[in-house]
Amino acid sequence: MTEHKADRAAIVRTVLEDAGIEMDDHGEFSATATRPDGAPRYHWSPVKPGDTDAPSYLRLIAHAITRRQAWREQYEQAKQRAGPPGPNLSATIPGAATAA
């Protein structure tokens, strides 16, 4: 499953790159992200109930949905810029499945 996900991600990156669309850095909020000096970029700590500095769950989910929609829109635009798919290079014989 991990390989399939990596393959899909590579296809999306290629389509976006070919269309001249720069991808967001998906690792920017990673727990392992570092600053240019090599120090950890973020200090992660648990959020306590009632913490006024923490964004609400609703706000976080809304942000994630909005970001996902933007990525989907970029991908759809990139596919349209690329034009129709090339010739069918299937390894199967057309109509062979229906002839049996």
| Every domain of the chain and the residues it spans | 1-25+54-81
**Residue 91 corresponds to which tokens in the numbers above?**
């390894």
| pLDDT (mean) for 73-89 | 79
Contact (Cβ atoms closer than 8 angstroms) between residue 42 and residue 33: yes
Q: Identify which of 54, 53, 32, 51 has the alpha carbon closest to the alpha carbon of residue 41.
A: 32
Q: Identify which of 26, 25, 12, 27 has the alpha carbon closest to the alpha carbon of residue 75.
A: 12
| pLDDT (mean) for 14-42 | 81
Q: What is the pLDDT of residue 37?
A: 93
pTM higher than 0.95: no
Q: Identify which of 67, 85, 65 has the alpha carbon closest to the alpha carbon of residue 15.
A: 85
Q: What is the pLDDT of residue 85?
A: 65
**Residue 60 corresponds to which tokens in the numbers above?**
């976080």
With a cut of 60, say whether residue 99 has pLDDT above it. Answer: no
| Cα 94-10-85 angle, rounded to 5 deg | 35
DSSP 8-state class, residue 92: S
